[in-house]
Structure 1
Amino acid sequence: MKTPFTVLEEMERILKGIDAEQYDSLVQLLSRDTRFFIFGEGRSGLIGKAIAMRLMHCGKNVYAVGETITPSIRGSDVLLLVSGSGSSAQLDGLCRNAMKQGAHIALVTANKEKVQEEWCSSGLFIPAATKWRRAEEPSTIQPLGNQFDQAVHLVLDAAIIDGPYAGLANENVIENHTNLE
């Protein structure tokens, strides 16, 4: 029964390494009254969709990039990217298109340099291990990008609690929960 406690210790170390200013900026961003477009690939994409659902529960207008019902992005919108590496052919193309439209591009990543990119309006660096195991990443007992994915889920859920969920009661958000199940 050692592994769950080791994972918990890893998460505590990662979460304590998050920059408070970057976190507060993300909370402010998620509190905006605007449309949100969420993108991630693979497991990061699954975490992104979970966060999109949480934002929708709080009454936000949210779209998962790549779904057939996703409209075009505009200058007043936010594109929230979840990517351990902060780079891929698809992500780079999305950023170029969103930049052309004047949208705010926010990146949640384990690659500190990527939050400094010209296309990145704001970012949150998560000091976690990814599947690439770069020298600057922390050690982990977990495979692939588990550590990054878990940290992103915890941090973005917390940012929603501190931001758009603040002041709401469970009764308010349950009204937006699916009733077709």
Structure 2
Amino acid sequence: MMLLMASKIRSVANSLSADDVEGFLAEILKARRIYVMGAGRSGLVAKGFAMRLMHLGLQSYVVGETITPALQKGDLIIVFSGSGKTKTVADIAETGKEIGAHIGLITSNADSRIGKIADCKVIIETQRDDVRDDAAEFEIRQMLGDHKSFAPLGTLFETASMIFSDAVISRLMEITKTDESALKNRHANIE
């Protein structure tokens, strides 16, 4: 299963638009402050990305945390949402857009509610076929050797998004000429 997932993630990486990625990097580099968010497991990926942005020396915050400051015009909100239409996340993105923030979206659905207002998007192609009964269809697919949906409930999107966000940090390190020792100096030391 790990090899199947690795193969799919390689395919996702090969499908990324270089122009979209460059636009995403440009938004990050010009932002004064960066806010990240997502729901569920996508939210966990977002939190990890916020941490790495902070390690890089950028002002980053997680939407919804108690110490997150008020959003201002020109700030950047980065949304991790496979569907691009999770209601709570879409509502917040729309509010941020009204305030004057730029919206960056990591998604599988470019034409989604959030996709329509995003200033930049990176499309992580992991859309799965509609399935009525995951459990039953999973067993049938396993017996037939059909592994199209071998990873449940968006797992490939979240995993690919995490790998993508780590690759973004590596690229930002190159662009800003920041070495790993600078990141280590910002790493938690009271754990």
Length-normalised TM-score, structure 2? 0.85
Identify the range of structure 1 (145-154 vs 28-37) with the bigger mean alpha-carbon deviation: 28-37
1:5 aligned to 3, 20, 34, which one? 3
Give, in angstroms, the shift of residue 112 of structure 1: 2.3
> Please, which runs of 5 or more residues in structure 2 have no aligned partner?
132-146
What is aligned with 1:76?
Answer: 74
What is aligned with 1:157?
Answer: 166
What is aligned with 2:104?
Answer: 106
Q: Kindly indicate whether the alpha-carbon contact (under 8 Å) linking 1:27 and 1:159 is maintained by their aligned counterparts in 2.
A: yes
3-state DSSP of counterpart to 1:175:
helix
Identify the range of structure 1 (106-115 vs 57-66) with the bigger mean alpha-carbon deviation: 106-115
CA RMSD in angstroms comes to 1.9
> Please, which runs of 5 or more residues in structure 1 have no aligned partner?
none
Does 2:125 match 1:127?
yes
Q: Kindly indicate whether the alpha-carbon contact (under 8 Å) linking 2:46 and 2:80 is maintained by their aligned counterparts in 1.
A: yes
Identify the range of structure 1 (84-93 vs 146-155) with the bigger mean alpha-carbon deviation: 84-93
Does 2:12 match 1:14?
yes
1:176 aligned to 168, 177, 186, which one? 186
Does 2:151 match 1:142?
yes
Rg comparison, structure with higher value: 2
Identify the range of structure 1 (99-108 vs 40-49) with the bigger mean alpha-carbon deviation: 99-108
Give, in angstroms, the shift of residue 97 of structure 1: 1.2
2-side partners of 1:146 and 1:32: how far apart? 31
Give, in angstroms, the shift of residue 92 of structure 1: 2.2
Length-normalised TM-score, structure 1? 0.89
What is aligned with 1:92?
Answer: 90
- The superposition leaves residues 72-125 of structure 1 with CA deviations (integer Å, 9 ceiling, x where unpaired) of 1111200000000001221221122111211101111011213750x2111111
Identify the range of structure 1 (6-15 vs 108-117) with the bigger mean alpha-carbon deviation: 108-117
Percent of matched pairs sharing the same residue: 28
Q: Kindly indicate whether the alpha-carbon contact (under 8 Å) linking 2:173 and 2:179 is maintained by their aligned counterparts in 1.
A: no
2-side partners of 1:31 and 1:163: how far apart? 8
Q: Which one has the bigger helix percentage?
A: 2
What is aligned with 2:61?
Answer: 63
What is aligned with 1:51?
Answer: 49
